[in-house]
Amino acid sequence: MSEPSRVDHTRPTPLPIVPMTDRERLSGPLPAPRSSFVGRTKEIAELRRPLDGSDVRLVTLTGPGGAGKTRAALRLAAELEPGYADGAAFISLAAHPRADLVLPAIAQALGVRQTGSRSLSDQLVIALRDAHFLLIVDNFEHLLAAATVISTVLDAFPAVTVLVTSRTPVRLAGEHVYAIQPMTVPEAGTSLADLAEADSIQLFAARARAALANFRLTATNAPDVARICHRVDGLPLAIELAAARVTVLSPAALLSR
């Protein structure tokens, strides 16, 4: 009689590769913003246009740090996600220092682990070959050497759309680049009603109210708020940081600083 096979309990049991058709949607869910989304109505509408019912599969949101690329991408993804049978997945690469970590980061976000002798790339193809999902890759500018990974994903999964945020374009074939500009800042002398309609002023007011519940935009402080937004070049992050200071400084005092 042959000797019974022995089980090596020192080695972990490989996780099965589950085809997309047998698994839950990828949405996990998308990261929930900690504050309200303000403005960018025109930008979101313009970004939806090439993605709704077209063959555009790679969109890169570019712009300087603090321009609001991530927030715009998440807002766009939240609106588009219901249209993808397998949901959406978000990967932040801000803390990844090397290009060779991009593929593992994407695999982890999609719930695929390397097992056995197959390469991680091959296992992604096996697990997700029929996938229909939106992949958001955030903070890609310092890992442009890994652009081939994005290309591989697009080639392997013909029903997948990739949304990238980066300070510079990824420079891949088929890339649709959209520059996220700083928020518009009204000119001096604009009426209170018109000031209140500007995205930059609305953002300042919203974040100021979050910090100080009784903050109100008035004919007295609105010009100072507009000048503050102008001083920080309409960058959303800088506007938010300035607005948070209304707990200790009035807009006029903040402007003088």
Residue with tokens 């997945």: 89
The two structure tokens encoding residue 49? 């246009």
DSSP one-letter string for 102-132: HHHHHHHHTT----TTS-HHHHHHHHHTT--
- Is the confidence at residue 242, as pLDDT, over 60? yes
Please state whether the peptide bond connecting residue 29 to the residue before it is cis, i.e. omega within 30 degrees of 0: yes
- The residue-averaged pLDDT of 125-147 equals 88
- The residue-averaged pLDDT of 103-131 equals 81
The two structure tokens encoding residue 16? 């099965």
The two structure tokens encoding residue 178? 């959209």
3-state class of 89 per DSSP? strand
User: In this predicted model, which residue has the larger pLDDT, 242 or 11?
Assistant: 242
Given this model, what pLDDT does residue 221 score?
A: 92
**H helices of the chain, where?**
41-51, 69-80, 102-109, 120-128, 147-156, 192-197, 199-211, 222-231, 236-243, 251-256
- Is the confidence at residue 230, as pLDDT, over 70? yes
User: 214 Cβ partners below 8 Å, 6+ apart?
Assistant: none
For 150-173, what is each residue's pLDDT tens digit?
998 898 888 899 999 999 999 999
Is 217 in contact with 205 (CB distance < 8 Å)? yes
- The residue-averaged pLDDT of 66-72 equals 93
Residue 186 confidence class, pLDDT cut points 50, 70, 90: confident
Given this model, what pLDDT does residue 26 score?
A: 59
Given this model, what pLDDT does residue 21 score?
A: 44
Query: Residue type at 4?
Result: P
- Is the confidence at residue 1, as pLDDT, over 90? no
Residue 2 confidence class, pLDDT cut points 50, 70, 90: very low
Which H helix or E strand runs over 164? strand 161-165
For 8-35, what is each residue's pLDDT tens digit?
444 433 333 344 444 455 545 788 888 8
The model carries a pTM of 0.82
Query: Residue type at 67?
Result: A
Could you please state the CATH topology (level 3) that the domain comprising 20-179 is classified under: Rossmann fold (3.40.50)
Mean pLDDT of the chain: 85
The edge-to-edge listing of strands for the beta sheet with 175-179 is 88-92, 134-138, 161-165, 58-62, 175-179
Domain residue extents for the chain: 20-179, 192-256
Given this model, what pLDDT does residue 170 score?
A: 94
Which range among 101-105, 120-124, 204-208 shows the weakest confidence by mean pLDDT? 120-124
- The residue-averaged pLDDT of 90-116 equals 84
pLDDT > 70 in the chain, percent: 88
Given this model, what pLDDT does residue 10 score?
A: 43
- Is the confidence at residue 196, as pLDDT, over 70? yes
